[in-house]
Structures are given as structure tokens and as C-alpha cells.
Amino acid sequence: MLGLGKSGAETNALLRGLGLSRSDVSHAGLRVLERLAADRDALAQKLEAAESLADRDVLTATLNRRGFMREMHRTMSEVERYKSSAAVLFIDLDGFKAVNDGFGHAAGDAVLKQIARLLMDCVRESDVVGRLGGDEFGIILNRAGAEEARVKAASLGARLSAASIAHAGITHRVAASVGVHPIAMVEDPEIAIARADEAMYAEKYARRAQTFPAF
């Protein structure tokens, strides 16, 4: 008698879908159905893996923009449903273009990979890191209030700006500008990211003004 493990349960489901029972099908027919059920499970796993890869940035292993936006929608739903707090950070690397142009794309890639690794190491497991494009990264701080997000942004900015990244015997350093936007209920994810982007630019120009004050 055939066992009723996972494949057996899947076979029963297939039979029910066809309006049949095990007694209606020969032993050989049951074997075929079990193989079909197993193949269907394997295909579903492959599709799930492919979808996961489609949401990942190949270079940095963080989420790509598509995956990050999916997580933004999920976070928005949680904020609305549970009245919880969250924030999005927008990070831009200052000085990255000089590395990329002066030392080549391999050096630029090394910087991006190291920065991504540092970001992932500096956030909680419940938070989300994504590469939004070029040298721009985003972070979703789940269940984080506005002040907590600002403190985290300042800490990350300092960590990134102090990081030394070695490639081909040369040490590279880039600064980072970090914008913060507390996520509000009934807010479009693209607008939330745009607000964080605007905050990043404000922070960038404020820092430049301190470094190069007007006379």
C-alpha cells in the first residue's frame, strides 16, 4: 500500500480535483500521479527560488529596487493595520564617482559590496536593506520611531564615512549622506522614498555648508 506522506497527500489532492478516489485508479496510475505531484512541488520550489533571485541585486546581495518596493508595501500595510511606526532611510555615497572614474569599475564594485555588507551588519534582522540604483541604498527600519530613526541614520552615516575599503592594494574611503523619513499611514511608498531622498539632499548640503562656509 502506498504511504500517505507529503507526496501521498498531494496525490490525494490531485485525485479529489479529478473527482476520483484511490480505488478508481490502478497502482501504476497512482505512481504516475505521485510523480506528477512531486514534480509539481519541485517546480513550485524552483519558481519560488527564481522569484527570490529576481528581487536581489546581483552585485551586493541586498534587495534590488523591485524587492525593496515590495517590502515598502508590506511595511505600509503593517503600519496601517497595527498603527505601528516605521521609517525609511535614503543613503547616497559621496565620492563614489571619483573612485569609479579614477580607479575603474572593479574598485567601484568593491566599494558597493563592502558598503552593502556594512549596512546589513548594522541593522536588525527585521529591517530591510536595498540598493535602489547606482550608489544609492535604502533601509526600512521596521517598528522604529522618528527619533530612533534619526539616531540610527546619524550612526550609519558616521560608520560609512569612517569605513576604509581596500582593493588592489589601494584604500578607498567614501562619505555618506543619509536622509530620514518616518513612514505615515496611507502613504504611497514612492512618495515616502522621495521624501527620504529630499531629506538626504538637505543633509548633504548642510554638511557641505559646514565644511565650506560662505564668506
| Domain locations in the chain as residue ranges | 6-54, 65-211
Residues 85-132 have pLDDT tens digits of 999 999 999 999 999 999 999 999 999 999 999 999 999 999 999 999
pLDDT value of residue 209: 75
Q: Which amino acid does the sequence have at 201?
A: Y
150 has pLDDT over 70? yes
pLDDT value of residue 13: 72
DSSP E strand boundaries for 46-116? 86-94
- 135 has catalytic annotation: yes
pLDDT value of residue 53: 55
The percent of residues above 70 in pLDDT, for the chain, comes to 77
**Which region among 50-54, 119-123, 207-211 has the lowest average model confidence (pLDDT)?**
50-54
DSSP per residue, 130-156: EEEETTEEEEEEET--HHHHHHHHHHH
The CATH superfamily of 65-211 is Reverse transcriptase/Diguanylate cyclase domain (3.30.70.270)
Question: What is the pLDDT confidence band of residue 46, given thresholds at 50, 70 and 90?
Answer: low
pLDDT value of residue 49: 47
Residues 58-75 have pLDDT tens digits of 999 999 999 999 999 999
**More confident site: 199 or 186:** 199
Catalytic entry in 57, 92, 135, 197:
135
- Taking the C-alpha atoms of residue 128 and residue 134, their distance in angstroms, rounded to an integer, is 18
Three-state DSSP state, 13 = helix
Non-local CB neighbours of 196 within 8 Å, separated by 6+ positions: 88, 89, 90, 138, 179, 180, 181
Q: What is the mean pLDDT of the chain?
A: 86
- Taking the C-alpha atoms of residue 137 and residue 96, their distance in angstroms, rounded to an integer, is 13
**More confident site: 24 or 186:** 186
Burial class (CB in 10 A: 0-12, 13-18, 19+), 55: middle
Q: What is the mean pLDDT of residues 192-206?
A: 94
- Taking the C-alpha atoms of residue 69 and residue 56, their distance in angstroms, rounded to an integer, is 12
